[in-house]
Structure 1
Amino acid sequence: MIIGGVLAFLSLVLVLPMLLSNVGGQGFLAGFLTSLIPLAIVLTAVYFMDRWEPEPRKLLVFALLWGATVAVATTTIIQPFFLTLAPPGSSKTDLLNFLATVEAPIVEEFSKSLGLLLLALLARKYFDGPVDGLVYAFTIAAGFAFTENILYFGRTLVEEEGAGTSFWTIVFLRGILSPFAHALFTGTTGLLMGFAARRWNRGLTVAAFFVGLLPAMFLHNRWNSMGADFLWLYIVVQMPIFFLAVLGFVFLRIAEAKLTRARLGEYAAAGWLTWQEVTLFATGAGRRFAKRWAAQYGRQKVMTDLIRTATALAYTRQRILSGRDLIRLQEDEHRLLERLGQLRATVTA
């Protein structure tokens, strides 16, 4: 968090003047306010994605700030070096096309995914599965798109000298029609890193970072290459990709529930839990029933903590099965079992 805070502050020193110099005060304010729309849409999706095993809010703030400031600053710094790689004698149109289809996919996905790599290496206890990877990736992407949208929206407003047709068109296209574009790109990297992180192997996680950049860059390139055929390609290509992503997440959520049930079942077999408690903690219906029951006695918050502790215990057990860092993980297991007993006594008192 200290590293992230320092980098975010230093990046803001670069990013804020860059935005103001491009769009001015009025453009910045209008871009900021309209950019809140797609940001809210993506973060709402993140909230629902993260409900089964919620990540620490501080780390989600880190991810959001990384995307909104550090990734943008990194992109801004690296971009000039790519200009030297453009074909000699390129026209302005060719140069812009090169930046959009080559530079942007490579530099932006690398910059965003660096935040994922830091989270996976420095906070790996909270980055232990594909859903975690998606949650952090979507949050980073939401932050990046937020700052990028300020630039796009503000610049269009300034060029039109007011909120004209072009302004509302680009707000609709970027803010309503495609708020998940960056999230889907970076989400592929987060997904692969999440699968690797489950093995509790740093080397495998780093390898997944580099491998995961390839589909992210490819999807980003295809998106930026749609050009005049945008609407047609959006309907026949991008929408199916989006629905496949939603379907894939549903399967991941089902897998999460099965994993939780299997690992908690081991504690039930050992006498730490009852099988009825496993059903309450490891199924959506069981969780809803448990919270409704606890709410009748004013103990819903305690029950929520109990469910989260049981889920954390299940995922700690999963990491123990990797056979790595056993001493540290078993200490976490003992702490969670003790906490579980305390919360259970409170909720049933």
Structure 2
Amino acid sequence: MSTQLPAPTERRDDSSPARERRARRIAGLPRPVEPGLTGWRRFRRSPLNWVTVAFFPFCGFLLWLTYRVYLTNITTAVGDYTEQQAGTRSTPTIAQFNEALWKCTKLALVTLAIGLVVYFLLDRLRPTTLRLKAVALVWGGVVAVYVSLVVNTWAAAMVTADEADEMGSARAAIFIAPFVEEAAKATVLFLLAILVRHRFLSVIQMITMAGLSGLGFAVVEDIVYYIRMYLYGSLVYGVDADDALRQIFYLRGLLTCWGHPLFATFTAIGVGVALRNRSKLVRVLAPLAGFCFAACAHMAFNGTQTVGIDTTTTVTIGAFIILFLLLRYIRLALAESRQMWARLEDFVANGWLSRQDPIMFSRYRSRLKLICAATLRGPRRLIATVRLIHDMSELAHLRMGVINGLIDDAAIGRERELLFHIRSLRGRALDTTDGLTVKPPNWTRQNAKRWIRAHLPRRRPKPPVFAPPPQTQIPVGAPQR
């Protein structure tokens, strides 16, 4: 059995580093690793890093514009509502609006926390990076919200005959808003699939990105509804603002918080299928079908809210859809785990990996145990273990792409890089659960006491206190004998 790494292919006369970079870019693989570069120089040479650096300040500017627009719209709407109800126009001030914004944002953070926990748990077999998660979340909460706000406002004005047309907003909410909002949320999926296609190796990863984008959109939209309801109750006599805020939080923040993430999931399934399929027809029709299904589901949801269908019915239907998707997710995760095991076996047959690697790095339980054990053994061991798991997963999915005909000979160089990196991590990372305990063996009671005593602040000895000299009968200033 050979234990050598795969030999590099013979270079042709017309080969060059630029040609290799182009072949990798076409195949959707990362650029070749250039040895000897520092972290800062590697950061400067990556265009995606600079795009990310410019993305977040741009989102901060859009968030400020969104705040200004909603400040004007909500205060005007509240003033019109109070004039209609009480006969006297009461427009909230900027201080009242900001106070309501802070109070409602704290409620919306509950929904955000629940969604983040769910999607971090789902994205475990081949986790995406925190940077990509942050980009998807911020895109849905800022860019998608601002684009939807501008386009929906313009479209609602187009379909409304005059100010007396009460059905204009309903028509816009049912027939226009679903397509605009789903397109705004799904745009980040297509951008990520184009720019960092090598990062998305399964449908599960694409579902995570879409769910985070929908979660960010839902949180910001909930804040808008909360502020409007709270200000309505605060400025109208006889209405309990806090009670109204609790009711709408229970309805939107808890019962129907799954709406936007679920609709975006349908588009993500189509994009994920397109990325893993060779057929050009499927690559075009799968994302289009997913988007149309997401828009239709969103349209049905808005229609039920507009015509006044009982919320219990809507929640029940959504629960059945979510349960079906969870069952489908379990089957998909198990199938992906089996594929990873089979593809890592290909490298074991050539002697490039050990026999226990496919078992260790293709099962959820083994990977979780390795990460938990590495966490208790220090940050260096944890970072090395996470990188080893990441490289093993990418290596398996890279071989899947080669077998399925999605990646050409450009994968050979990337396989060599991953195998070299895996070999360099062997001594620092945990790579087997045989005889491994989550708690380190040196974590005993005696060692804990010894460590506590060594790190407790020591008391400094107090300086001795001397007794004062005895008093004599000699007057002060008298000559001494």
Greater fraction helix? 1
Corresponding residue number in structure 1 for 2:195: 122
The correspondence for 1:16, drawn from 67, 76, 94, is 67
Deviations 1:260-308 (A, max 9, x none): 1121111112211223221111112332444466568653443332222
Corresponding residue number in structure 1 for 2:405: 323
- For 1:131, the aligned partner's letter is I
Corresponding residue number in structure 2 for 1:332: 414
Once the two structures are TM-superposed, the CA of residue 321 in structure 1 deviates from its matched residue by 2.8
Corresponding residue number in structure 2 for 1:211: 289
Are 1:281 and 2:361 counterparts? yes
Point out the more displaced range, 10-19 or 144-153.
Answer: 10-19
Are 1:344 and 2:426 counterparts? yes
The number of residues matched between the two structures is 349
Corresponding residue number in structure 1 for 2:138: 65
SS of residue matched to 2:257: coil
Question: 1:344 & 1:119 partners in 2: Cα distance?
Answer: 31
Question: 2:363 & 2:132 partners in 1: Cα distance?
Answer: 26
Deviations 1:189-241 (A, max 9, x none): 01110111123789855543332211111111111112322323224422211
Question: 1:6 & 1:295 partners in 2: Cα distance?
Answer: 33
Q: Extract unaligned runs of 5+ from structure 1.
A: none
Question: 2:302 & 2:210 partners in 1: Cα distance?
Answer: 20
Question: 1:200 & 1:5 partners in 2: Cα distance?
Answer: 35
The higher-RCO structure (CA 8 Å, 6+ apart) is 1
- For 1:129, the aligned partner's letter is S
Corresponding residue number in structure 2 for 1:44: 117
**1:117–1:209 contact (8 Å) kept in structure 2:** no
SS of residue matched to 1:347: coil
**2:270–2:291 contact (8 Å) kept in structure 1:** no
Point out the more displaced range, 76-85 or 105-114.
Answer: 76-85
The correspondence for 1:28, drawn from 85, 91, 101, is 101
**1:226–1:233 contact (8 Å) kept in structure 2:** no
Once the two structures are TM-superposed, the CA of residue 3 in structure 1 deviates from its matched residue by 6.0
Distance change in 2, residues 1:346/1:294 (3 Å): same
Are 1:243 and 2:316 counterparts? no
Question: 1:25 & 1:297 partners in 2: Cα distance?
Answer: 46
The correspondence for 1:272, drawn from 333, 347, 352, is 352
Corresponding residue number in structure 2 for 1:259: 339
Distance change in 2, residues 1:285/1:25 (3 Å): closer
**1:7–1:70 contact (8 Å) kept in structure 2:** no
TM-score (norm 1): 0.91
Distance change in 2, residues 1:196/1:6 (3 Å): farther
Which structure has the bigger radius of gyration?
Answer: 2
Question: 1:280 & 1:57 partners in 2: Cα distance?
Answer: 24
Question: 1:111 & 1:171 partners in 2: Cα distance?
Answer: 25
Point out the more displaced range, 9-18 or 185-194.
Answer: 9-18
Question: 2:313 & 2:167 partners in 1: Cα distance?
Answer: 22
Once the two structures are TM-superposed, the CA of residue 51 in structure 1 deviates from its matched residue by 1.4
Deviations 1:31-66 (A, max 9, x none): 211111111111111100111111111111111111
TM-score (norm 2): 0.67
Q: Extract unaligned runs of 5+ from structure 2.
A: 1-51, 76-96, 235-239, 432-481
The correspondence for 1:186, drawn from 257, 264, 284, is 264
**2:100–2:227 contact (8 Å) kept in structure 1:** yes
**1:41–1:179 contact (8 Å) kept in structure 2:** no
Point out the more displaced range, 299-308 or 174-183.
Answer: 299-308
Question: 2:57 & 2:149 partners in 1: Cα distance?
Answer: 18
